Amino acid sequence: MAGVFHQCGQSICKRTRDEMDDRARIIAHALALQDLKEDDVVAIFMRNHVDIFEIVEACRYVGSRYVLLNWHSPVAELLPILDDCGAKVLFAHRDLLNGENDLKPLSLVPTLSVIYTIKTPDSILERYHLKGNSLLASEPKTREQYQCLDTLLAAPNAKRHNKPPKRFKGMFPYTSGSTGKPKGIKRDEDLTRPDPYLIFKGLSEALMQLSKGDRFYVSAPLYHSAPHALTLCCLAAGNIDVYIEPQFDPERFLKDIEQFKLTHAYIVPTMMVRLLKLPESVKSKYDISSLRFALSTGSALPSDVKEAMIKWFGPIFYESYGASELGFMTLISSQEALAKPNSVGKPIPGAAIKILSDNKEACEVGDVGVIYAHLSMFAPFKYTNTTGAPSDLHAGEFTTLGDMGYVDEDGYLYICDRKKDMIISGGANIFPAEIESVIIEMFEVADCAVFGVPDAEYGEKVVVAVQCSPGNTLSIDTLQGYLGGKLARFKWPKMLQILDALPREDTGKIFKNKLRAQFSQ
């Protein structure tokens, strides 16, 4: 039985794998007509939708790489990425293109030969309350550079690509740009390794524990590496049903589990916190017994949040430490997490972890150092834009992205924090993640982020930005009173900033550089 892809919304749009493959071959033929060659780049500027994976399959047919663009960003912010990757073709939902303000700068991207616009589906317009924008979303552009993908796919005489798929080049991801302009992560091609498509198929079993007929749910933005890679595992497996939700809503997630008998889900810590804050009457309303595997990545999962979710859903939660540059590196089950609170697990098969000091000497068991990882299944990568990139990432075959942590006597990895986020105050190393995990438990707090700012006396002082829960407020005195007996006094925030919302991505990652800049103004 081949898997079916479902687009969630007021009504469910279903596409069989045969239907998706047929549409992918139409798109692949169109790409070939644009003289797209192996290793050329296609850019995708779309909200969560099944169509994305038809374009991915089309790229596999012609051997091209693809870049998934952050649709939250205005086009002006995406131009450096389009320039850097040399995209020849862009696919875009029409509501994301803002008339002449976007058309003119896109026309100036030197490598971009054609832009295929796609009617923004009703399921997305509904979720984002854009129904009043339906004309903009459905009206094809008339400029010469623009072509309508909907028209191409609906043509009765549409031509299909008639050659087998080439070796999968995969996603060409870009970092969020926390240290400067976004950096492209371009993986080397190593023909001695298996086709990466087969690796993703293998990960569907080894990492995701999927089997024929399982049903996977994803609502995190698919331009992020983790949710995209996990959905790609389902695509490569070929026999998994996939449910793509344009936007996460906690109660709707519970309803979808019951309605579709979902078995697997990708769910990040911020989603879990929102689920746990639902009224008990809502929590108990839906049958969630079908869900047996939920994977979390992207940001730290506090142990108390994990324990509360395990108590509610059962021991179905897994956490993985990973990165766009390296992939999924570790895995820990619910049973292991209860025995090893705050650990992100052991390396997955084919992965290895080292903890090294700043001078790249091995740290003793339990000592905090820089985390270096090696994954044998993926080829090395290089940055295409080195602005802001660390100058020395490697120690032999092992690579670091600047995270700090330690390994215990049983081989379990613990993440302390990003090295760049670590606060040094009065000579003491302070890890914001530890403080955040305590503050988030306050009923006055809906979200929080801890960071350091320059201090003349101590070098840096600890600051916390807080989004208060509805109807509540918070003072620095109340906060410090709460932290008494929970954290050492030198870790207490010395300053408090109340914000309407924190600059956090849907995956849970927070832009602390924006907070630092905002706080220093």
Topology of domain 16-166 in CATH is Rossmann fold (3.40.50)
CATH 3.40.50.980 fits 195-319, yes or no: yes
Q: Do domains 16-166 and 423-520 have the same CATH topology?
A: no
Q: How confident is the model at residue 517 (pLDDT cuts 50, 70, 90)?
A: confident
Question: In which residue are the tokens 């215990």 written?
Answer: 408
Residue 412, Ramachandran bin (φ over 0: left; ψ between -120 and 50: alpha; else beta): beta
- Tell me which residue of 221, 162, 147 sits closest to 509, measured CA to CA: 221
Q: pLDDT digit string (tens) for 69-126?
A: 989 888 888 898 999 999 999 999 988 987 777 878 898 899 999 999 999 998 898 8
Q: Look at residue 273 and give its three-state secondary structure.
A: helix
**Token pair of 494 as six digits:** 């010395």
Percent of residues, the chain, with pLDDT higher than 70? 93
- How do the domains of the chain map onto residue ranges? 16-166, 195-319, 344-419, 423-520
Q: Return the axis-axis angle of helices 303-313 and 269-276, rounded to nearest 10°.
A: 60
Q: pLDDT digit string (tens) for 446-479?
A: 999 999 888 777 778 999 999 999 999 999 999 9
Q: pLDDT digit string (tens) for 350-364?
A: 899 999 998 899 999
Q: How far apart are CA 91 and CA 118, in angstroms?
A: 7
- Give residue 431's pLDDT: 82
DSSP assignment letter at 1: -
Q: pLDDT digit string (tens) for 143-197?
A: 667 889 999 999 999 999 999 999 999 999 987 544 456 788 888 888 888 899 9
The rounded mean pLDDT for the chain is 89
Say if CB 41 and CB 186 are below 8 A apart: no
- Tell me which residue of 444, 447, 416 sits closest to 432, measured CA to CA: 416
Q: Look at residue 125 and give its three-state secondary structure.
A: helix
Q: Hey, how many other C-beta atoms are within 10 angstroms of the C-beta on 395?
A: 16
- Give residue 1's pLDDT: 56
- Give residue 389's pLDDT: 47
Listing DSSP states for 134-165 in one string gives HHHHHPPP-STTEEEHHHHHH-TT-----S--
Which CATH class, in words, describes the domain spanning 423-520? alpha beta
- Tell me which residue of 123, 102, 1 sits closest to 51, measured CA to CA: 123
DSSP assignment letter at 132: G
Task: Say if residue 53's pLDDT is above 60.
Answer: yes
Q: pLDDT digit string (tens) for 364-417?
A: 999 999 999 998 887 778 888 765 445 578 888 899 888 889 999 999 999 887
How crowded is the C-beta side of 393, counted as CA atoms within 13 Å?
16
Q: How far apart are CA 24 and CA 269, in angstroms?
A: 34
- Give residue 520's pLDDT: 53
Which CATH class, in words, describes the domain spanning 344-419? mainly beta
DSSP assignment letter at 445: E
Q: How far apart are CA 316 and CA 334, in angstroms?
A: 6
